[in-house]
Chain A
Amino acid sequence: MLKIVIGISVVFFTTFLGKKFSDKFVGRDKFMAALISFNNRLITNLSFKRESIPEFIVNDFGNDDFNSTLSGIDFTKDDLGLSFPDYIKKDDSKIFRDYFIAIGKQSEYAENEYLRSMNDVFSEMKKKTSIEAEKARPLGLKIGFSLGVIIFIIIL
C-alpha cells in the first residue's frame, strides 16, 4: 500500500517537475508578448500622449515578470540596473538591455523608426518563443508523467 502511495506521489512530483521545466518556455513567450505590447504602446505614445519613459513604464503590460523588470529600472545608472527573469536567454537579455538603454534618447522621428524596426525583431523572436512554448508545455508534462510512471513501476 505504501509503495502505491509513494509511487503516485512520485508521478505527481515528476509531472510537476515536467511542468516547471516547460514553464520557462511559456514564461519566455509571455515576456515577449509583453515586450511587443510595450513597444507598440510606446509607438502610440510618441504620436499622442508623449509621456516620458519613467511615466510610461508604470503602466501594466500584462505580465508580472515584465512589469517587475520595468519597475526595477534605475535611470541614473548607465546600464539602467536592468535585471531579467532567469528564463530569459543570455543573448536575448543583451538585445533587451540594448533596447531599454536606447529608448528615450532620440528625436521623435528617430525614436519612431527605431521602435518600428525593433517591432520586427521582437516579432521574429516571439514566433520562435511561441513555437517553443507550444512544444514544451505538453512535452514537459509528458516527460514528467512518463518518468513518474517508470519510477512507479520500478518501485512496485
Chain B
Amino acid sequence: MPTVEVDPDELRELTGHGDRSDEDLREDLFALGIEYEGETDDGAFELEFAPDRLDRLSVEGIARSLRYQYGDDRGVYMPAVNDPEWTIHVDGDVPADRPYVTGAVVRGLDLDEDSLESLIQLQEKLHATMGRERVKGAIGIHDLTMLKGAAATTEEPTEAELDDARVETAASGGKSIRYTGIGKVDDRFVPLDSDKEMTPVEVLNQTETGRKYAPFVSAYDRMPAIYDDVGLFSFPPVINGKRTEVSADSRDLFIEMTGTDQWTIDHMLTIVCYALDARGGRVEEVEVTYADDAVGEDASATLVRPDLTTRTKTAAHADIESMLGIDLDGEEVVDLAERAGLNATRADADGTSVASADTGDDGLAYEVEIPPYRVDVLHPVDVVDDIGRAFGFNDLGPRYPDVSTVGGRHERSRLERATRETLVGLGFQDLLNFHLIGRTENFNRLNVDPGTDVLGGGEPAAIKEPYSEAFEVVRTWALPSLLRVLENNTHRSYPQDLSEVGFVAERDDDVETKVAERRSVAAVLARNDASYEDAKARLRAVCRTFDADLETPPTDHPSFIDGRTAEVVIDGESAGVIGELHPEVLVEHDLELPVAALEFDLDALR
C-alpha cells in the first residue's frame, strides 16, 4: 500500500484549519481511510492508504479531501485553465514501445523547499502506482524559463527533418518541443546529478538511475527523447537533463509525461495539475500533435491537455438505498454527493429521462459528475461507496441478514476430521506441517528419486522463485514433514507417535490444473522398540474404524528396510506403504532409535 510523508503544518495551512491539533488530524485522516503509521525524524506524518485514491498521494490532495470532510468545500472543483502557448510535436520516430506523451504548463508558482519536496514525492508516488514503476507512465518536470521553444508550426516537418531528429522544426506563433526517438549513441546531454555530457547508453550504464531502468529501456527499438530549440533535454522515462532542473526558485514549470497508455499519463497529469493549482499555480494547456506516421492510436490526432473534463455516472436511488440499507430522500443524496466532492443532479427533476434499467423501480436516479482526478471511479457502485463514506458507514447500524441457508461441511473435510480423531484416539500427536518443502528434504533425505514409481516419487509442482531451499516444491508425500518434526524434537521425551492428515500434490498433465492434489494419511512411531507390528496394529485399527479391508503384501520402498515393508492395500486398492524406516534414513535425520512408519491415500478410507 502506498505511503506518503505529510507535514502536519502544511496540512493545517492548506486546509485553513490552523486549530486542528496533530491528534485531531490523525483522527480526521483515519476517517478518510488514511492510516497514521508513525512520524519521520523531522515530524512529518507517515501515512498509509489503499491505492485507489491516487489523488491523495500529495499533501495538496489530502488537504482537498479534508476540506470536503470538514464541509469547507462542496461539489466538483475545476481549476481555471489558460489557453495553450506550447505544443508537443510527436513525430514518426517515437519508440514503438513508448508512443504516448502528454503535458501541461503551470505558471506563477511560489515554491519553497517543502512544497518542492512535496512535488517530488507526488512524482515518485505516481511513478510507483499508476506509472507501474515508470513502465506505463513517467513524469518529467522542467523549469519553463530554461526551455527554448521553437516557434510552433502547423506544417508537418519535412522528411529530412524527420530523418534527423536533432534538427529542430520551424515554428510560427506559439512555442514547441518535440517527442521523438533516437539511437542509443545518437546524441548527448548532461543528465541530472552529473556534470558530464552522456549518450543515452552511457546514462543507462553509468548512472544509478540509468542502471535501474535499463532492464526495460534497453529493449526499446529507439531511445525516447525530448528536444527543444536548444537540443535534447529529457530522456524519459530515465532521467531529465540538468539544464531544465527545477529548484525552489522556479516559478513556471513545464510538465511532460510519456508512457504506454494515453489515458494513464493524462490522468497522472491531471493529479499533478490539481496539486499545483492548490499551491497557487495557474495551469496552462499544452497542445499535443501526433504526426500521421506516429506510432499508436493517436496518430494524426491533436490533443489539448490537461484534459480537465468531468465524467458522468448514473446512480439509481434504489441502488443507493439497497446498498446502504437505509432510506434516504433525494435532497440527502445530493447533499452527500457534494460532501464527497461530486455533483449530483436528480435525473427526474428537469424531466430528463434515464434508461429504466438504471433507475430501479421508482425511476429516480442521479446524474453524478466525477472530477477528473478521480481515477478510481469505474462504475456507479463507486459513487454509491462515496455517498456511504460521506454518510459515515459506522453510523449504519449492523443488522443480521434475514436470509436462511443450511450450513454443512464438505464431505472430504468430514472424512479428514474422522481420520484425525481416530489417529488421536490411537495416541498419535496430530501435526500440521507446511505444504512447501525443499527438494532435498522431500526426496534425497528419504532415498527417493523424483519420477520413480514409489510413494512420494511423483514429479513435484515447482516454485519459480522459491523463498529459500527449504521451500522449493509442493511436497509429494507427508512422511518427509513428519521426519523433520522428529529431527527437530530429539531432545523431547519418547515415545513420539506423530500423525498428519494433510495435503500432497504431484504433476499430472491429465488434470485441469496439471497438478493432482490429494490428501495423505501419514504416521510415525518413534520409540525404543518400534517395529513393523506396532505400525500395522494401528493401521489395522484405523481400517477397522472405517470398516475397510486391509491387506499388506510385501513390497519394497527406498525409505524402508527390505523385508519389513508392505504395500497398504485397502479394499483391494493399492493405497500406500508401511514398514520400518531404513537406518540410513534415521541417521540422516539424527534419530537414534527405530521408527515404524506408514502413509496412504485418504481416499482409500471412503
Partners in one complex: no
A residues sitting closer than 8 Å to B (CB atoms) are none
